Amino acid sequence: MTLLVVGLSHRSAPVSVLERAALAPEARGKLLQDAVSAEPVTESAVLSTCNRIEVYADVDKFHAGVADLSSLLARHSGAGLEELTPYLYVHYEDRAVHHLFSVACGLDSMVVGEGQILGQIKDALAVAQEQHTAGRLLNDLFQQALRVGKRAHSETGIDKAGQSLVTFGLEQLAAGRDVEDWARGKRALVIGAGSMSSLAATTLVRAGVGELAVANRTVERAERLVQILTEPGGPGAGGGTSLSERSRGLGGGLRAHAAAMTSVPEELALADIVVSCTGATGLVLAGEMVAAARDGRDAPLALLDLAMPRDIDAAVHRIDGAHLVDIESLADASADAPMAADVDKVRGIVSDEVAAFGAAQRAAHITPTVVALRTMAADVVAGEITRLDGRLPDLDDKQRAEITQTVRRVVDKLLHAPTVRVKQLASEPGGAGYADALRELFDLDPQTVAAVSRADTRADRHDARERA
């Protein structure tokens, strides 16, 4: 296993650096393709969230891999390599596995235990599969990470230790009050219609806001989100019998509507709560826009910025009557968040799963050698049967079949114990050398072993395309 991860997160870099290093969605695919085009890299995947950017790769040279991935990360993120280097971390082999499994369980999240990271890991794998940059190692790794994360949430109380960033952010805005009591009846504006914005809108509706506006660059996506929120059985559904009735708040339902981004200033002037999370590269709410919305209003304005880079001007912190919580202030607040006792259980799960993953990968490493050995044995049997045909041409078909089966059984029995045992030994730490020993002992052709490995890789990539 030659797994390498190079990245930076809220634990290693200040928010200002994370902002500049944020990857645009279209840049991720290009980064994946450029990574696998680099000489030491054979597979790649990118995990990019609001508080981390990590490149995972299968490499055959450690130092060259670190150098190439660091340079590519800098090039595609737009931040200079000299600026990123002090904040980059590198994990290799088992440490890289341990890191991703910890991330999947929420142990490395800004809010410990939050579960949204599982969806982001799933998305990272899906993109790598779509780009055909994930082979056997990364497919196995990310799928196992998803299973480990789900196991941690189902077997422990890690959920009690943390929440989603949306919930945590709203709690910071509520400043000690119950979020439902604080939000009930207020007017809310959600800017963006992606996964984080959808979660924010759902959370606000369930908290009891009286009115909700969803603004998005593509109005159709905002309309779709409003429809989901207000449809029968949805979080904002009330007694109304149609979408139009529910959108107007008839029958006790949610008053909700979609809006274009050009309408944000007007929506902002009416809002009590604003949550913004878009993929914009520049500010969505400038300080002047927020100040204009505050002009002549006594009611306070609460703003939650979950975007990276930020959507809301940091100057809003200085505007009277406006309370802004952003990624930077969430990071400060989360440092004091209580840790659940179950965190130790999750760490134990991660350690066990890392060991199991390593054992499985080491065992898989020897499989091509075992296959090559059995192929060689089959060729020997076939050759000897051909020679027997020449020496005993009068054998009938039944006799020839019986002799062939007997020879094959003898060979299988001789190979069974050593091949089973070598797989067991190879799964242990330091077991990689058993494949080399097997090749030397039986004088196996390295090209045959390599051909088996290439066939496995092609099959893995075909499966990945089918899943995509």
pLDDT at 432: 63
Average pLDDT over residues 69-87: 92
For residue 163, name the pLDDT band (cuts at 50, 70, 90).
low
Model confidence band, residue 1 (pLDDT cutoffs 50, 70, 90)? low
Q: Tell me the average pLDDT across 86-96.
A: 95
Q: Are 142 and 45 in contact (CB under 8 A)?
A: yes
Tokens coding 266: 């007007």
User: How confident is residue 53, by pLDDT bands cut at 50, 70 and 90?
Assistant: very high
CA angle 140, 141, 147 (to 5 degrees): 90
Using DSSP's 3-state secondary structure scheme, residue 189 falls into: strand
Single out the residue of 200, 249, 237, 252 nearest to residue 222, CA to CA: 200
Summarize the confidence of residues 214-223 as an average pLDDT.
94
Above 50 in pLDDT, residue 246?
no
Sheet holding 273-276, edge to edge: 255-260, 211-216, 187-191, 273-276, 301-305, 322-325
What confidence category does residue 290 fall into, taking pLDDT thresholds of 50, 70 and 90?
Answer: very high
Which of 38-47, 164-173, 291-300 holds the top average pLDDT? 38-47
Distances (CA, A) of 418 to 231, 411, 441: 63, 12, 12
Determine the pLDDT at residue 240.
Answer: 37
Instruction: Pick the catalytic residue from 31, 50, 209, 293.
Output: 50
Average model confidence (pLDDT) for the chain?
A: 85
User: Does residue 248 register a pLDDT over 60?
Assistant: no
Q: Percentage of the chain surpassing pLDDT 90?
A: 51
Residue 423 has pLDDT above 50, yes or no: yes
Task: Answer yes or no: are the C-beta atoms of 262 and 232 closer than 8 Å.
Answer: no
Q: How confident is the model at residue 77 (pLDDT cuts 50, 70, 90)?
A: confident
Comparing 28-32, 113-117, 176-180, 183-187, which segment has the lowest mean pLDDT?
Answer: 113-117
> Does residue 50 carry a catalytic annotation?
yes
**Given this model, what pLDDT does residue 223 score?**
94
**Partners of residue 257 on adjacent β-strands:** 213
Q: Which residues of 164-194 are buried (b: 16+ CB within 10 A; e: fewer)?
A: bbbbbbbbbbbeeeebeebbeebbbbbbbbb
pLDDT for residue 252: 46
Q: Where is pLDDT greater, at 440 or 171?
A: 171
Strand positions, DSSP E, 273-335:
273-276, 301-305, 322-325
